Amino acid sequence: MKKIVLYSVIFIVAVLIILPFATGNLEKEKLDDTIRANAGGTFIELSDGFTHYEIKGAEDAKTIILIHGNALPNFTWDYNFEELVEAGFRVLRYDLYGHGFSDRPYLEKYDNELYSRQLAELIEKLEINTPVYLVGTSQGGSISAYFAAEHPRKVEKIALLAPFFDDYKTMNMVQILRTRFLGEYIMSVVGDMVMTNPQRSFYLGDKGEEITERLRNKPIFKGTKRAILANMRGNALSDATVHFERLNQLDIQLLLLWGDKDCTIPYDSIQRLRRLLPQMQYYDIKDGSHFFHFEKAESVNPILSLFFQEK
């Protein structure tokens, strides 16, 4: 009996050791000057590293800044970017640190202060001198709230698209991944799969295959899984109620959109946010997933344009 237990333990340990190697590692390429030269868009060096961005529209127009979430980079704005430019705005989209073609700084934690600093420096370096309009989806929503609370004179309006507020589907898993060594191990086993197949985590609707295909065809740069863990270990995925509460004291117009097929941000969380900020305009997006701005752009773009055009 003792031998059976011993052999079982040895087998389990062997499997745990072999598993990360068996699942492979898609982090093959280093994000360097050669990659940046062929990436498209523009790069700017900020205090924490290079940021990849694209800006378009008349320089004297109001500036809309699109802030993506923690699952997908800025290509998820592809169906919104040009439409908002054509509506008469100057539009800026960029990759958060750890995503897309922006750098993966060697930091223990990626927190609200990091993302806020990235945005503030980007605005300053691009010489955007008038208050901006922010559009934040998922974690980008909580980043928008934090940034506005810290820099109220820089923000005039905010559109929150299924923002992370106080709860999300994978909160318990994030708590596990915050555990040192255990988080690294889990990411080494399943990280590539999660990063290249969001359908395992999200209801994506009609454009799910398109998102998945685009992710599979994008390189995963070295340091990406490390950056994902640093994001989870920071405060950007902690309860953001205090940051949204601060918006009540500010003269900033607010819009909230949520897709009724969202499997990431719970309906109850959205309702709590509405009660916290009762002055906020609100729209349901029918059959919209967590990425409704991508898959239901024909419904979302007119709402955004109208909101930002209103005085």
- For residue 139, the model assigns a pLDDT of 94
57: in domain: yes
What pLDDT is stored for residue 172 in this prediction? 76
The ranges of the chain with pLDDT < 50 are 3, 5-23, 201
pLDDT in tens, 83-139: 999 999 999 999 999 999 999 999 999 999 999 999 999 999 999 999 999 999 999
| pLDDT confidence of residue 195 | 65
pLDDT at position 124 is 97
Domain for residue 14, yes or no? no
Q: Per-residue DSSP letters for 221-268?
A: ETTHHHHHHHHHHSSTTS--HHHHHHHTTS--EEEEEEETT-SSS-HH
Q: Please report how the helices 182-196 and 208-216 are oriented relative to each other, as an axis angle in degrees rounded to 10.
A: 120
The pLDDT value recorded for residue 173 is 75
- What pLDDT is recorded for position 142? 94
Domain span at residue 125 reads 29-309
Residue 190 has what pLDDT?
67
Classify residue 79: in a domain, yes or no. Answer: yes
Tell me what pLDDT residue 8 has: 41
Structural domains of the chain, count = 1
pLDDT at 19: 41
Q: What's the CATH code of the domain at 286?
A: 3.40.50.1820
